[in-house]
Copies of this chain bind each other. A is one copy, B any other.
Amino acid sequence: MSIPPGEDRHRHVCGECATVHYLNPRVVVCAIPVWGDQILLCRRAIEPRVGLWTLPGGFMENDEATHQTAARETVEEACARIKVGELFALFNIIHINQVQLFFRAELLDLDFAPGPESLETALFREAEIPWDEIAFPAVATTLKEYFADVAKGSFQLRMADIALDAHQKRLFKPVNFVQAHE
């Protein structure tokens, strides 16, 4: 670790070639693939949270747009084609340096199937969502807030921060909405 010229903080600098390896937050993009009143979920075949359900998504790669990440990950995890729509949720997961984006999406057909990282893929109505088996809190919140907006008939971008407190307890702090559920 050293402070490169013109910078104000320590960075990872290669001792041999002086390349600065910046450690910046990474972007994770997920889709909310909708078919009528149903949402497509994937049961995870890989760690973390193997066996639990999630929305299709993953790390944004170089040379792609955020909406392209959502579409690519939905193909990879659920072998499914979507039309990506509006951004619905933005989470700052501060303790793991991630920005997670959730896009609304239309499922284009019903030819979905588990990809290599999924055990199972299935459509769920609101009453059928396996709330106790959702892999990640940000996914559970997104699903709850999404159904709340379906009921209202209009959609609004949700933003929230997720961090750990001094006792390693997870804090969920909505930025621009009142959390409808717990």
Contact = CB atoms under 8 A, between A and B. Distances in A.
B23 A25 contact: no
Interface in A156-173: 157, 159, 161
B24 A67 contact: no
Interface residues of A, number: 30
A90 B88 CA distance: 13
A97 B68 CA distance: 13
B176 A62 contact: no
Contacts of A24: 26-27, 59-62
A64 interface: yes
B90 A161 contact: no
A34 B90 CA distance: 23
Contacts of A68: 92
Contacts of A9: 61
A61 B151 CA distance: 37
B60 A99 contact: yes
A62 B66 CA distance: 20
Interface in A34-60: 59-60
A172 B24 CA distance: 26
Contacts of A60: 24-25, 99
Nearest to A19: B21
20 contacts: A21-B21, A23-B62, A24-B59, A24-B61, A25-B62, A27-B27, A27-B99, A62-B97, A63-B94, A63-B97, A64-B92, A65-B92, A65-B161, A66-B99, A67-B92, A67-B175, A68-B92, A86-B157, A87-B159, A157-B157
